[in-house]
Amino acid sequence: MLPDIKSLTREELERQFKTWNEPAYRVPQLLDWLYARRATGWDAMSNLPKSLREKLRENFSLHTLELARKQGAADTTQKFLWRLADGQFIETVLIPANPALYGEASDRHTLCLSTQVGCAYGCKFCASGLDGWKRNLEPHEIIEQVLAVERWKNAARGTGHEAQGQAAPSPKPTASRLVDNLVIMGMGEPLANYENLLKALKTLNAPWGGGIGARKITISTSGLAPQIRRLANEPMQFRLAISLHGATDAVRERIMPVNKKYPLTELVAACDDYQKLKGRMITLEFILIAGVNDALAQTRPLAVLANRLYAKVNLIPYNPVDGLPWQRPSEEVCEGFLAALEKLGVTATLRREKGGDIDAACGQLRLKTERELASTT
């Protein structure tokens, strides 16, 4: 199979064009087609000479994601299930910054990206890891999630009928930017696909690429301490979210096997390094699961960690997964947990939308679709 053009960095493209004896100004022209105009085929690239388009076609593929399924209405959270070239499925979630809170839809959007098909880390509560790990996403498959959602949105705007999914004839490059925040919280463990993720994020961050500021990109990890240290030494100022879900080893170990490999002391030491090099850029994610980690006894050790790392805490009531025994605690328990944390001087938020919302963690739509497919074949 040919490498995909969007998996190449700008420097790699420049080297390639040099060996082809193509003038340097052709590179920004190509980048404009790929990332500003989100072209889906070589033939559209009308200002590139035919001979160059042929060379590109012979040497590179230009894949786009195929929409397999979509959940959610316009102007609310929308979940996209994509089919990859090899038939695997991944999910991307589009979250409006302010879902019609004040009666008008917001133009700012956060996009939640997947980085792997499945996940090897097997957290006991998570749909993404239920069937294990299949493969890493290539850089272009990570980047395409942004481009495909923006293409889809433009088509919906252009025709007023999103189901048609037709591409607008010639989208205006900058006016049609939709996504201004990225959270790497979809399927997979991002730091276990480190090289491809970083390559993709460099393109998504670049002004000629996605144009999304590094401080508007949050990478969520289940706690891979060595990779957190590596990320701390990258020049880009990404935000880091740690999926903590337990403030003591005993509680964390029960639901997250990764805690055996990197227990809390090791994880927190790596976060310390990140905090020292990057400043106040860490969030601690804490899903509340009934009878597992929602006892008030967890709030004190959690506050100690949060205060030491200058981190804020996001409390997220668990979203039940078909076939798994875990439940979310009652509203009173969640509110009580939040109040106790705040009393200990921690900046914390509690996600309050009602149960079963599609806003919930990634992996569930894919799981459902794969199970449906398995039962029909």
Catalytic site positions: 91, 362
Cα distances (Å, whole numbers) of residue 97 to 83, 172, 232: 26, 23, 27
User: In the bound complex, what is the minimum distance in angstroms from residue 225's beta carbon to ligand SAH?
Assistant: 14
Nearest-CA neighbor of 129 among 197, 188, 186, 194?
Answer: 188
259 binding ligand SF4? (CB under 6 A): no
CA 141 to chain centre: 12
262 binding ligand SAH? (CB under 6 A): no
User: In the bound complex, what is the minimum distance in angstroms from residue 267's beta carbon to ligand SAH?
Assistant: 12
Nearer to ligand SF4, 145 or 222 (CB): 222
Query: Could you tell me the sign of the dihedral formed by the alpha carbons of 105, 111, 117, 118, in that order?
Result: negative
Per CB under 6 A, contacts with ligand SF4 among 204-233 are 222
Cα distances (Å, whole numbers) of residue 30 to 15, 60, 142, 237: 14, 13, 19, 27
128 binding ligand SF4? (CB under 6 A): yes
Query: Among ligand SF4, ligand SAH, none, what binds residue 129 when CB lies within 5 to 8 Å by partner kind?
Result: ligand SF4
* Interatomic CA distance for residues 189 and 220, integer angstroms: 8
* Interatomic CA distance for residues 9 and 19, integer angstroms: 16
Per CB under 6 A, contacts with ligand SAH among 116-175 are 125-126
User: In the bound complex, what is the minimum distance in angstroms from residue 232's beta carbon to ligand SAH?
Assistant: 17
Conformation bin of residue 342: beta by default, left when phi > 0, alpha when psi is -120 to 50: alpha
Residue 210 structure tokens: 């996605």
Among 32, 131, 234, 285, binds ligand SAH (CB under 6 A): 285
Query: Among ligand SAH, ligand SF4, none, what binds residue 219 when CB lies within 5 to 8 Å by partner kind?
Result: none
Query: Among ligand SF4, ligand SAH, none, what binds residue 267 when CB lies within 5 to 8 Å by partner kind?
Result: none
CB 131 within 8 A of CB 370: yes
Return the DSSP state at 294.
-
Q: What is the size of the binding site for ligand SF4 (CB under 6 A)? A: 11
Among 90, 94, 119, 225, binds ligand SF4 (CB under 6 A): 119
Q: How deeply is 355 buried, as exposed, middle or buried, from its count of CB atoms within 10 A (0-12, 13-18, 19+)?
A: exposed
User: In the bound complex, what is the minimum distance in angstroms from residue 257's beta carbon to ligand SF4?
Assistant: 9
- Of 25-33, 84-92, 214-222, 298-306: span binding ligand SAH (CB under 6 A): 214-222
Among 126, 182, 200, 348, binds ligand SF4 (CB under 6 A): 126
Residue 60 structure tokens: 């590179």
* Angle subtended by helix axes 194-205 and 225-232, to nearest 10: 30
Nearer to ligand SF4, 7 or 243 (CB): 243
129 binding ligand SF4? (CB under 6 A): yes
User: In the bound complex, what is the minimum distance in angstroms from residue 221's beta carbon to ligand SAH?
Assistant: 5
* Interatomic CA distance for residues 261 and 69, integer angstroms: 36
Among 197, 348, 360, 367, binds ligand SAH (CB under 6 A): 360
Determine how β-strand 116-118 pairs with β-strand 109-112: unpaired
Q: Which residue has the tokens 């012979």?
A: 58
User: In the bound complex, what is the minimum distance in angstroms from residue 185's beta carbon to ligand SAH?
Assistant: 4
* Interatomic CA distance for residues 140 and 15, integer angstroms: 19
Residue 299 structure tokens: 């709030």
Query: Among ligand SF4, ligand SAH, none, what binds residue 122 when CB lies within 5 to 8 Å by partner kind?
Result: ligand SF4
Q: Which residues bind ligand SAH (CB under 6 A)?
A: 125-126, 185, 189, 220-222, 243, 245, 285, 287, 316, 318-319, 321, 360-361
Q: Which residues bind ligand SF4 (CB under 6 A)?
A: 119, 121-123, 126, 128-129, 188-189, 222, 243
